[in-house]
Amino acid sequence: MHNSQEGRKLKVGVLGATGTVGQRFIALLSEHPYFVIHALGASQRSAGKPYSKAVTWKQTRPIPSAVREMPVHECKPEYFASCSVVFSGLDAEVAGDIESAFRAAELVVFSNAKNFRRDPNVPLIVPLVNTSHFSLIPQQRSLHSPPLKKGFIVTNANCSTTAVVVPLAALEKAFGPIESCMITTMQAISGAGYPGLPSLDILDNVVPYISGEEEKIEWETLKILGGVTETDEGLKAFDMHARHPFRISASCNRVAVVEGHTECVSLRFARRPPPSPQQVREALANYTSDAYALGCPSAPRHTIFVHEEPDRPQPRLDRDFQQGAGVCVGRVRQCRVLDIKFVVMANNVAIGAATSSIINAEFAVNKGLIT
């Protein structure tokens, strides 16, 4: 679907439209070549208001004119019945039941929430890495009670997982299995949503704990990089150790940066001898995603940009590269404990959130999963 005629665009809805991720969805979708915003959903207190009156807009660009006066509805399927795609920026506290109801109503949901990431029939897709996991959609539909003809749910990963899993996937593709990995994150305050942390907690400070974050990185990475295998019952299943055991240890910190998660990574390859730092740089720089190859308009041309400067990447300088859709890596060097270490930075509210969901939807359209 490569046209920009308004009448031929697919109608989409946004759930959690007044929140941080919902606002980013709206900003990215406002001039999208495939999609046109048709319906907005938020909490009951926002319902019935025009969007401009319901939202505390926190994006750097103005509210798109097409949605300023668009009415906000409650997050109920009947208001979104004519939407081909629904993007969910809902908080996890409410996302589970709402997204489940939308799927049961034969709607296609691309979710940024965590609620269905562990579901054995729901793909957890970082679109720069594992679009092959869309192969689970027919099974998700058939096992639903009652079986579905059109509806399904796809989730994208946690923002900190997304940043690190892209270079890990590139290195596994080039050099084979990674045996172990140590990750230390410095995560932006926007990852906590709005209004986020109180200023007296984060200014002049580093908070060395983010609830649930370390566990998410450790198991989400295995699901994303793992294969899809067939069980004895003839069903498809995620094998989180399909190719090899992979040990991951993550430590997560909140820092006083607005946007852009930075992560220090050390890893050990199964192969001996391991690749050199220069071989690693070349493999990262040459990695191309299936989403870009398929022509998804939001997919970055350079999946991974490798910095040669000794002091990059930096969030303030690099988070908007390719509209925040790619991943930046720098300081690739030998690790004296494991094999290789580097720094990775990704825009947590772009490729780490809304942009991932949008590229996933673009991929599904190009593959004929959405009509």
Annotated catalytic residue 261? yes
Which of 75, 159, 296, 328 is catalytic? The answer is 159
> 261, 296, 307, 328: which is the annotated catalytic residue?
261
Confirm whether 159 is a catalytic residue. yes
CB atoms within 10 A of CB 18: 23
What strand order describes the sheet that includes 340-346? 247-254, 178-187, 261-269, 340-346, 327-334, 304-306
Of 58, 60, 15, 59, give the one whose Cα is nearest residue 37.
Answer: 15
Catalytic residue ranges: 159, 261
